[in-house]
């Protein structure tokens, strides 16, 4: 075992694990960090990795040889070969100087592995003043009812054929939000339902896929979704209706919770905060 929980636990200011992303605080333990090291050797997806649903091979892996694990701070580097490649160093610890050490490690490993990018990922606690980056949010389905909302929302396959056919141009328009990728997965039959909003027989918003998988301790987790509304259709409450429909779907299919990452101050962030989600902390990415 490489990691000591008595060293690692005090510096986990936000529940984010390298190569896996956010995890529920109840599932945050030394075993999940050790699992990422084993996965780096085998190249396999962990059973509870949210990315395994897309198939293929795991693209990001922990660079075990670069891990720095000390009583007051821990650095965990990862390598991604996608595109021109990038090394990310997750910097866990209270001292601001840890960022400099992490940046040096990221630059060194990027050179060793001949990739173009080097970045530091800094987890921050929920009480951080004036945070930047992304917020980790928790929707707990066990604490209250999620009613079905009123509004023009259905699974895309429940609309008439003519409406369904408008999903393709919608997906292309919202490619930056991941909908074009989602569309390819839908066409291949490799994902769960996608909820859509239509106005005047045209799809203008979507959230999906709707899928539930067990987490590291076996609790059913609603997987993160792609979510977008066309710019010209915003301001009508469709985003909120889609969101509430997704939460109703998750609760009615026995999910215990969902974790999300939202850009601080962005539309999804404001929506989640207004909907009462719990902030678990932040992550801030910096170039090394």
**Is the domain of 162 the same as that of 186?**
yes
Which pLDDT score, from 0 to 100, does residue 276 have? 92
CA distance 5 to 10: 8
**Is the domain of 166 the same as that of 231?**
yes
Which pLDDT score, from 0 to 100, does residue 94 have? 86
Residue 2: band (very low, low, confident or very high) from pLDDT cuts 50, 70, 90: confident
**Is the domain of 153 the same as that of 221?**
yes
* 271 within a domain of the structure (yes/no): no
**Is the domain of 237 the same as that of 151?**
yes
* 269 within a domain of the structure (yes/no): no
Give percent of the chain with pLDDT exceeding 90.
Answer: 90
**Is the domain of 122 the same as that of 161?**
no
Across the chain, mean pLDDT equals: 95
Angle at 224 between CA 220 and CA 225, to 5 degrees: 130
Which CATH number is 239's domain given? 3.40.630.30
Residue 96: band (very low, low, confident or very high) from pLDDT cuts 50, 70, 90: confident
pTM: 0.92
Rounded to an integer, the average pLDDT of 50-79 is: 93
CB 62 within 8 A of CB 78: yes
Which pLDDT score, from 0 to 100, does residue 115 have? 96
Q: Residue 170: pLDDT above 90?
A: yes
Which pLDDT score, from 0 to 100, does residue 190 have? 86
What tokens appear for 85 in the block?
Answer: 């490649």
**The last residue of a domain, from among 105, 130, 155:** 130
**Is the domain of 173 the same as that of 122?**
no
CB 162 within 8 A of CB 201: yes
Q: How many CB atoms lie within 10 A of CB 132?
A: 15
CA distance 9 to 174: 39
Reduce the DSSP state of residue 197 to 3 states and report it.
Answer: strand
* 262 within a domain of the structure (yes/no): no
Supply the range of the domain harboring residue 41.
Answer: 5-130
Which pLDDT score, from 0 to 100, does residue 267 have? 87
* 236 within a domain of the structure (yes/no): yes
Which pLDDT score, from 0 to 100, does residue 282 have? 97
**Is the domain of 112 the same as that of 185?**
no
Residue 124: band (very low, low, confident or very high) from pLDDT cuts 50, 70, 90: very high
Which pLDDT score, from 0 to 100, does residue 16 have? 97
CB 258 within 8 A of CB 21: no
Task: Report the number of distinct structural domains present in the chain.
Answer: 2
**Is the domain of 165 the same as that of 204?**
yes
* 92 within a domain of the structure (yes/no): yes
Give percent of the chain with pLDDT exceeding 70.
Answer: 100
**Is the domain of 9 the same as that of 125?**
yes
**Is the domain of 66 the same as that of 91?**
yes
């Amino acid at each position: 075992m490489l990691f000591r929980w008595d060293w690692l636990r005090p510096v986990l200011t936000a529940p984010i694990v390298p190569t896996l992303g956010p995890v529920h605080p109840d599932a945050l333990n030394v075993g999940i960090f050790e699992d990422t090291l084993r996965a780096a050797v085998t190249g396999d997806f962990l059973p509870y990795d949210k990315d395994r649903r897309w198939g293929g091979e795991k693209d990001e892996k922990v660079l075990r040889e670069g891990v720095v694990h000390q009583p007051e701070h821990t650095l965990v580097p990862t390598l991604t070969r996608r595109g021109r490649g990038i090394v990310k160093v997750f910097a866990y610890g209270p001292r601001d100087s840890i960022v400099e050490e992490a940046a040096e490690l990221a630059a060194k490993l990027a050179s060793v592995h001949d990739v173009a990018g080097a970045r530091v990922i800094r987890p921050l606690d929920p009480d951080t003043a004036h945070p930047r980056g992304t917020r980790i949010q928790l929707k707990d389905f066990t604490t209250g009812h999620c009613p079905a909302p009123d509004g023009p929302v259905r699974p895309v396959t429940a609309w008439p054929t003519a409406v369904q056919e408008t999903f393709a141009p919608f997906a292309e328009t919202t490619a930056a939000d991941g909908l074009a990728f989602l569309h390819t997965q839908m066409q291949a039959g490799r994902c769960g339902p996608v909820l859509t909003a239509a106005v005047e027989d045209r799809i203008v918003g979507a959230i999906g896929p709707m899928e539930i998988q067990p987490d590291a301790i076996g609790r059913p987790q609603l997987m993160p979704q792609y979510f977008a509304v066309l710019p010209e259709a915003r301001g009508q409450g469709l985003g909120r209706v889609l969101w509430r429909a997704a939460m109703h779907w998750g609760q009615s299919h026995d999910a215990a919770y969902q974790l999300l990452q939202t850009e601080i101050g962005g539309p999804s962030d404001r929506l989640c905060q207004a909907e009462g989600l719990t902030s678990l902390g932040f992550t801030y990415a910096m170039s090394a």
